[in-house]
């Protein structure tokens, strides 16, 4: 099922937590089960979105070359971050230049999400929401960072923990291109700046899922993802 929306995958980071593993190879090109992680992400989203935009920075050229070798149903394109150290927020805003649809989903280049976005994103579009975040409950590996109330996200704290934060950012959010471009946010920033903007306006909705997720930005995450792939055979 194709959604009338585009997807931005933020893949411009340095992968510093992985040390020598990403010194010459970007995270998204690390191989798991004889496939690059980029190919695993393409397998998740190809044909679902109108266009998939990879926002790149560090070691971008091998990613561009690899993507050019992959045949896809969705349009795919790469856009280079506007400046070094711009952060995920500025990278996302910069990617808007390649978005053809007004409705845009955004995720990360090291996240493998088993949640099917079709139903929730179609709901987002039909209800004319301005912004939404997919959330889950932490399995104990990651700390909860989201507080909700009355159908809205009331607080999002990426690096904080208290008892009111009972949910976890799943790694997938929905926005409207026109609203992102109208935000008065400039310079280097994290994507959470946009979440905070819509929280402050009282309009950040959420969709709750119990579907598992994987990430390959840490050695533990890679081990878990490799185990998932082996179990799926």
Domains of the chain and CATH, by start: 3-232 (3.90.550.10)
Average pLDDT, the chain: 94
- Residue 37: CA atoms inside 13 Å, Cβ hemisphere, count? 23
Write down the pTM of the prediction. 0.95
Each residue's pLDDT tens digit, 101-124: 999 999 999 999 999 999 999 999
Intervals of the chain under pLDDT 70 = 1, 14-16, 161, 233
The string of DSSP codes covering 126-186 is: HTT-SEEEEEE---SSS---EEEETTEEEEE-TT---TT--BEEEEEEEEEHHHHHHS---
């Amino acid at each position: 099922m194709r959604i009338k929306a585009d997807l931005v995958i933020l893949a411009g980071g340095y992968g510093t937590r992985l040390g020598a593993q990403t010194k010459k190879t970007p995270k998204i090109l690390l191989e798991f089960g004889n496939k690059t992680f980029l190919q695993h992400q393409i397998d998740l989203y190809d044909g679902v979105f109108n266009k998939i935009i990879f926002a790149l920075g560090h070691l971008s050229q091998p990613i561009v070359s690899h993507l050019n070798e992959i045949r896809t149903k969705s349009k795919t394109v790469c856009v280079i971050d506007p400046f070094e150290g711009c952060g995920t927020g500025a990278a996302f805003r910069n990617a808007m230049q390649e978005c053809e649809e007004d409705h845009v989903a955004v995720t990360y280049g090291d996240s493998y999400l088993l949640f099917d976005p079709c139903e929730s994103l179609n709901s987002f579009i039909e209800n004319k929401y301005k912004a939404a975040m997919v959330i889950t409950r932490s399995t104990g590996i990651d700390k909860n960072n989201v507080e909700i109330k009355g159908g809205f996200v009331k607080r999002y704290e990426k690096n904080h923990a208290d008892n009111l934060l009972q949910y976890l950012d799943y790694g997938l959010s929905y926005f409207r291109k026109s609203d992102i471009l109208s935000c008065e946010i400039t310079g280097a920033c994290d994507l959470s700046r946009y979440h905070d903007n819509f929280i402050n306006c009282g309009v950040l909705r959420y969709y709750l899922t119990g579907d598992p997720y994987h990430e390959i930005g840490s050695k533990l995450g890679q081990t878990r993802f490799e185990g998932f792939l082996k179990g799926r055979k």
